Structure 1
Amino acid sequence: MPSYSTASAAAPQPTAHPIQHQERRNLEARSDTGLSLAAPPVVYHPLYSAPVLPPGHRFPMAVFGLIHSQLLSEGVVDPRQVHMPTALPSRDLLRLVHTDDFVDAFCGGRLDQQRVRRIGFGEVVHTQALIDRTLAEVAGTILTAELALEHGLACNAAGGTHHAFPDHGSGFCILNDLALTAQLLLHQGRVKRVLILDLDVHQGDGTAAVFRDQPEVFTLSVHAASNFPARKQASDLDIGLADGTADEEYLGVVAGALHQVLHSFAPDLVLYDAGVDTHLNDALGRLALTDAGLRRRELLVLDSCLGMGVPLAGYVGGGYDADLAVLARRHCWLHRAAGQLWKEHGL
């Protein structure tokens, strides 16, 4: 099966098309990264912010690069912690979740107009830049999970494309990186049970649909009940919150649900979609978390999982603000919490 290796800051650019990988990730590669075990691994690739979207487009493509640069400039992350996927996933890997027709049409730049409209990027979706960016995000999400299994905790600087269904994308999501990661690790026998914890303000409908009849994956979504998508799917546990739900009520709900699922389902790995569109100033959110609430949420989630010895891979999820520097800072609460709890739990 495809697998991934890591590289430090001088990672080569991926090729224009998906390629096959070695049978297993070369674990010796991490000895060349200079990774300090005093801090958790962080995954990033410049392709995360590579495509140029039309002027005024509300998807914040440039924010992923800003997350990376803020983490480095503020000393939250040391360059030696940063891992990059060195290759793009094969079409065979994508078919673990997505249909043959959708994989071939997307990777070949031939998606029909109906599916293009559902994704929301317009004709840019046919460009090699966006194709490669989408594949790089999948590679980064898988690598983050592999590093979490290896070290107990890892965070990506992107990821969480939870609206993608097997045969189409939706809501700025094309390939479902969370679902692909869970399926690959299950297929490889590296885990037996995966919890996908989705705290984006929008329900993880694509992920819920993928795993509707798969008991090895538990999907837990806490979201704004009135927000996109209008037609919700059935997660294993859905909690739809009222508009304006603020810090204390929100954190109480998340704490109770997560405690319940961690104990009853006993996952081998948590894939955490840490969307910050729950913030009270988010352009597309309807909840009312403050900066302090976001920080407390990340500490709560990470501490709950690590306290039970469950590895966690964190992904930034959704977030929308005209001021990308402000938005990047909201996303960075995940990585700040990871650094703090890495030390507290002695990882």
Structure 2
Amino acid sequence: MELSVDTLAMLWSQLVWPLIRLLFFISVGLLVANVLESLNWTAKVARIARPLIVWGRFSERVGAAFVMALISGVAANTMLAEAYDRGEIDRKELILANLFNSLPTYFLHLPTMIFITLPLIKGAAFIYVGITFVAALLRTLTIVAVGRWLLNPTHASTALTPPAAKPTNWQDVGRKAWRRFKKRIRKITLFTVPIYIVIFIMNRMAFFAWLEEQVAGYLSFLPWLSPQAIGIIVLQMAAELTAGLAAAGALLQDNVLSHREIIIALLIGNILSSPLRAVRHQLPYYAGIFKPKLAVALIVYNQLFRVVSLALAAAIYIVVTAA
């Protein structure tokens, strides 16, 4: 069976090129993490987040990953995976550390969120972004408290230990980082590529669209939402955040919905759509960085924690503005 030019162009634009780009960013993150490890800079990097790290009884590897998450989530997760594989952190600390990185990861995407929401929903954007920020801050502070309760107190005393002796020169650093990179990238590619292809096929078969429609069909359990607000939620689930924002902006412009109704609809859409979006976008590279079973567990923990924090922040907003 011959493939048409249109089919080949579609496969390139929707499968091959996105997969190449994903592997490129994973490779960059992996190299950055390995160079930092080879230079023994993790302790220095961790000092930036010292108060949170020490109070939460995390190790220096977690502190370095927390700071790295401000630049690259892939690099941060790679650092955690490397530390876990070498036995420097256990499974409990790995899970907490991955959840702990929600705040720097939020800041990483904050400029994009602001530039998308502000032109479309104007003043409501500040409230919506503020609520999502409060939820991210709540997640991080909660994990710090849980870490202080669950982790070994000796972590706090060793979290910022002086770095070991540095390699003699950059050639040694390069060799050490490259050796680690080659070993890790093979495993990442082995898991990432087939999982990415499976997710692509599921998308082409409209599985996620069907699943989102099924979820959207049960929105009647929120009878206080207007049909227009439900439309925003459905668009946000069926497409992306931008689709919901565009609809919200149009309804806001025509004075069909108030700022409060727009914000509530967007928050509910965010809560309902994020788990499926995480499977589509996070699972391929998570399964490459971590072992597949652990990758699924981390995504589940992340999404449950994110949904609960967003629901709590949204509930507080609804109650406060109900009067």
Instruction: Give the TM-score of the pair, scaled to structure 1.
Output: 0.26
The higher-RCO structure (CA 8 Å, 6+ apart) is 2
Instruction: Give the TM-score of the pair, scaled to structure 2.
Output: 0.28
> Which structure shows the higher helix fraction?
2
Larger Cα Rg: Structure 1 or Structure 2?
2
